[in-house]
Structure 1
Amino acid sequence: MTSFPSDESVALASPAALRALIESRRSVRRFTAEAVPDEVIRDCLGMAVLAPNSCNLQPWSFQVIRDEALRQRLVPVCMGQNAAKAPLLIAVLARPDTWREACDKVLEYWPQEKIPEITRKFYSGTAQFQYNQGPFGLLGLFKRQLVRIVGLRRALMRKPNSRADMRIWAVKSTALAAENLMLAFQSHGYATCPMEGFDEVRLRKVLDLPRQAIPIMILAVGRQGEKGVYNSRLRFPLEQHVTWL
């Protein structure tokens, strides 16, 4: 089990240091052949899984692809992108199918000696109903009707109540972990490129992915190569996206 520092021992980064790290991260398309050390990979994955996530069910998994022959097979799967030729590829997978096991693991790995009763009841009871969609999604259908009725009288959590909701639920948390992962590699001096351009059917065959796993990106990692960044950064004005209420 991965060991993490206690809250009391964590020194907060300054806003300037955090901004510098975030601004230095770019999607790099060309890498050198220098390998990424296993200890760096493990440290960065440890920071990735510190990401906030829904009900602490951590619905993600990562396939770390170091083998050169396997990486070569993934280049055409990733449409021949230059980034796919990086010395390290990580398949970032959302896992809407692992919630039941995760409920058990939360109680198994609870960090204090005594588990609060409200916590035990949630993971052994409430969550078992909340995330379970039943055979063919029939329980989810029942819950959607129940929510419509109960929601007339009070506010309540209305999703996830379908298999489609569960996919979104898992992808949201996994995307947060992916951002942590990219910034972690950046802090070690390694560039990244999150690739969404890939043939999912072929990817599943090459990596033998679990049927319900959702590949949300293939992360290319390595030292930035010559002309690794294609263009200057472009972002729309903040006012275009923000509403102040």
Structure 2
Amino acid sequence: MTSFPHDDALQLASPAALRALIESRRAVRRFTSEPVPDAVIRDCLDLATLAPNSCNLQPWSFQVIRDPELLARLHPVCMSQNAAKAPLIIAVLARPDTWRQACRDIVTHWPEPEVPGRIRHFYAKTAPFQYNQGPLGLLGFLKRQLLRVVALRKPLMRTPNSKADMRIWAVKSTALAAQNLMLGFQSHGFATCPMEGFDEVRLRRVLDLPRAAIPIMLLAVGRQGEKGVYNPRLRFPLEQQVTWL
């Protein structure tokens, strides 16, 4: 994969080029049978992992599904929608369960010869306290009570301090990665459709997903087929959704 110096990268990411790429992305429901090259898939997955994420713990994983037999089994799981006939489907999974290993991996793979002391301390002490909810969420419950008292004196980050908070935490970062993934494929000339219409129970059986993994979307990928976009784009007026303070 080609890397660019920082200044060159900023020049390439001009507002006009970025707008053109984003505006060209549509949810495509019909695809041709043309396969997506492995090099393209790898490049787009690499772009996905460059997404911003909470504490750099990268709480996501991806299952790349190309096998025709497995794709055929997924079609009814996806409510038999046309988009699920794509030659490539990527299961985008939020992983609230991987934070411990991520804390260790950050120190192991730190991109400098010496890991700064503050980094070691954060991932050895601060992050484990912040993200560990304990058996049955009991530690999270105790932390919530402690925060109520300490927050009387100063502002504090109050989440994630429950199993439910951890799910939200992981999904937020993974959604950012999914957007990178879609724009990556768009830049290579391949269309995508983020599918939320699927039977999660059956999906877990077909893909044998890790128990704690949260499937936030199945991303259909391929060359846009005839009548692939069903309707014109509709977005609400900006003034309806933005408050200027």
Indicate the TM-score class for this superposition, using the shorter chain for normalisation. over 0.9
Residue 9 of structure 1: CA displacement? 5.7
Residue 193 of structure 1: CA displacement? 0.1
Question: 1:191-216 CA deviation, whole Å, 9 max, x = no partner?
Answer: 00000000000000000000000000
Alignment of 1:188-203 (within 5 A): 188-203=188-203
**Runs of 5+ consecutive residues of structure 2 not aligned to the other structure:** none
* 1:224 to 2:212 alignment: no
* 1:131 to 2:169 alignment: no
Instruction: State TM-score, norm by structure 1.
Output: 0.97
State the distance in 1 between where 2:144 and 2:231 align. Answer: 47
Structure 1 residues 5, 163: CA separation in 2 closer, same or farther (over 3 Å shift)? farther
Residue 10 of structure 1: CA displacement? 2.8
Structure 1 residues 5, 16: CA separation in 2 closer, same or farther (over 3 Å shift)? closer
CA RMSD of aligned residues (A): 1.3
State the distance in 1 between where 2:2 and 2:58 align. Answer: 16
Instruction: State TM-score, norm by structure 2.
Output: 0.97
Question: 1:67-89 CA deviation, whole Å, 9 max, x = no partner?
Answer: 00000000000000100000000
State the distance in 1 between where 2:7 and 2:24 align. Answer: 28
Residue 124 of structure 1: CA displacement? 0.6
State the distance in 2 between where 1:84 and 1:162 align. Answer: 34
1:210 aligned partner: 210
Alignment of 1:1-245 (within 5 A): 7=6, 10-12=9-11, 13-245=13-245
State the distance in 1 between where 2:76 and 2:168 align. Answer: 28
**Runs of 5+ consecutive residues of structure 1 not aligned to the other structure:** none
Question: 1:124-154 CA deviation, whole Å, 9 max, x = no partner?
Answer: 1110110000000000000000010000000
State the distance in 2 between where 1:4 and 1:60 align. Answer: 23
Residue 3 of structure 1: CA displacement? 9.3
Aligned residue pairs total: 244
Residue 118 of structure 1: CA displacement? 1.0
State the distance in 2 between where 1:85 and 1:45 align. Answer: 21
Structure 1 stretches of at least 4 aligned residues deviating more than 6 Å after TM superposition: none
Counting aligned pairs with the same residue, the percent is 75
Question: Quick one: which amino acid aligns to residue 9 of structure 2?
Answer: V
